[in-house]
Amino acid sequence: MRMFMRSIRTLGLALLAGLTVLLAGGAGSAAAASPNYACPGLESLELATGVGNVACGIEALFSDTSGNENVAIGAEALRSNTSGENNTASGHDALYANTTGSNNVASGNAALFENTEGSNNVASGLDALFTNTEGSNNVAIGIEALYSNIKGLSNVASGNQALRDNKTGNFNIASGADALESNTEGNENVASGHQAMKDNTSGSWNTASGAEALESNTSGENNVADGDEALYLNKTGNENVGLGWKAGKQIVNSQNIDISNEGEATDTGTIRIGTEKTQTKAFVAGIASTSLKGCFVQVTSEGQLGCNEKAAVEGATGPQGPAGATGPTGASATASSNAAVASFASFQNVPNGNCLNYTMLAGQGNGYCPKTTTGFSSSSLLAGMPDNGGKVSNLYAETNASVGYKEEATVTVIDNTSGAKLLSCKVKSSSKGVCSNPETALVPAAAGDRIEVQITSSGSYCNNKEWQVRFRY
């Protein structure tokens, strides 16, 4: 800014030299001998005692008493200046009210009009920095750029009405017509593009690049919008990122990341990359050659990714194959045949001594083992033996328990009606969560008897775990 001021001042002194040559004899000699120069007959520099001032225009530097090295070109330019120094005003009413402010440059009608003591400002354009009184280190280029600034410091506005309403906001940069136009007290924002962050009033630490980027933002903070209309509707949301044309345009909440996707008004803490039916393929480096242990990732038709811990390892079921040849006729069923499979399970934590649900009746679950039951029962913990009864065999049990050293969990198939323990197996630390018993129970269960499966454990590691149990009968 000092180099710019010196260039303007050099231009003023050159004008002074030219005017001195052109003016008639006595007037020219008096001007050459004076430490100041004022164009004759225009009431410029009427009260001046300072030195190195140049005034050319009706009442330019009219009130100056001790200010030095000021240049005022234009009617009433620097009119009220008394002791301000190193100011350059070019334009009608430029720096009109300045009294003690120094090192200012105002180019344009009424530029820095109300400035009194603000220093180190540059205003270029009609009414640029018009109401500034004591704000310093500001740069305003464009009609009404930083028009309402009063005390704001170190702002840069380039473009008509850029940062127009700013009063006390500091360290903002606005480049483009109407950029940050409504900002009054927001700090450290960067807006580049026509109407970028146009409605912002108090939001701080935002970055908007592109026409109408973050245009509706009023008090939202720490947002980044790069692209025309990016994060356009956001008003109070914080910590959003929108990259691309209209990226995050629908976002109104916080902590979203949208890349080439408009997002949705209900989104919070959501990442969206690309747009369905526009981007039809995705390539991400570093995935195919990397093996991991974890859940299965699934994708919805809307493109949402999710982690499904219970998804099967196998893929989707394929089409049904052709029917095979008819096999030989099997033997007739007897009371000792084991044709049916019973399944008991609980995916909820099973306390020591509880029984598992019979899944055919009520799905998975567990509860206190029921008392001795005969006849009809609605308990989901009991399976009924069919006509002719049968013997239990081929017991197999699984659990997610990590059985500790010297601990064990026992799975017991019990005839609840008779009280007989039909078959059992034990899960130990060496069996890795599985136990089995391929034998056939010695005692058959009578027709209509109720069968239950009880889990007992000897230590805390295998208590309150999940179980699945199957056997034939």
3-class secondary structure for 398-442? Answer: EECCCCCCCCEEEEEEEECCCCCEEEEEEEECCCCCEEEEEEECC
Mean pLDDT across 309-313: 61
Q: Residue 314: what pLDDT? A: 53
More confident residue, 271 or 362: 271
pLDDT over 60 at 252, yes or no: yes
Q: Residue 8: what pLDDT? A: 46
Q: What is the pLDDT of residues 407-446, one digit of tens each?
A: 889 999 999 999 999 999 999 888 888 999 999 999 999 9
- Of 336, 438, 356, 426, nearest to 393 (Cα)? 438
Return mean pLDDT, the chain: 86
Q: Residue 63: what pLDDT? A: 86
Mean pLDDT across 43-62: 82
Q: Which DSSP state fits 125?
A: S
How confident is residue 464, by pLDDT bands cut at 50, 70 and 90?
confident
Mean pLDDT across 337-350: 85
How confident is residue 405, by pLDDT bands cut at 50, 70 and 90?
confident
**Tokens 């109401």, located at residue:** 131
Mean pLDDT across 252-277: 95
Question: In Å, how far from its chain's centre is CA 230?
Answer: 13
Three-state secondary-structure class, residue 131: coil
**Tokens 């998804």, located at residue:** 311
Alpha helices per DSSP H over 150-294: none
Highest mean pLDDT among 188-192, 280-284, 313-317: 188-192
What percent of the chain has pLDDT above 70? 88
pLDDT over 50 at 267, yes or no: yes
How confident is residue 18, by pLDDT bands cut at 50, 70 and 90?
very low
> How many angstroms separate the CA atoms of 22 and 470, rounded?
115
- Of 49, 55, 84, nearest to 72 (Cα)? 55
- Of 233, 236, 231, nearest to 258 (Cα)? 231
Q: What is the pLDDT of residues 176-207, one digit of tens each?
A: 999 999 999 999 999 999 999 999 999 999 99
How confident is residue 47, by pLDDT bands cut at 50, 70 and 90?
low
How confident is residue 23, by pLDDT bands cut at 50, 70 and 90?
very low
Q: Residue 458: what pLDDT? A: 85
Mean pLDDT across 44-71: 84
**Tokens 């039909």, located at residue:** 422
Domain positions in the chain are 341-472
> How many angstroms separate the CA atoms of 15 and 206, rounded?
45
Class of domain 341-472: mainly beta
pLDDT over 80 at 40, yes or no: no
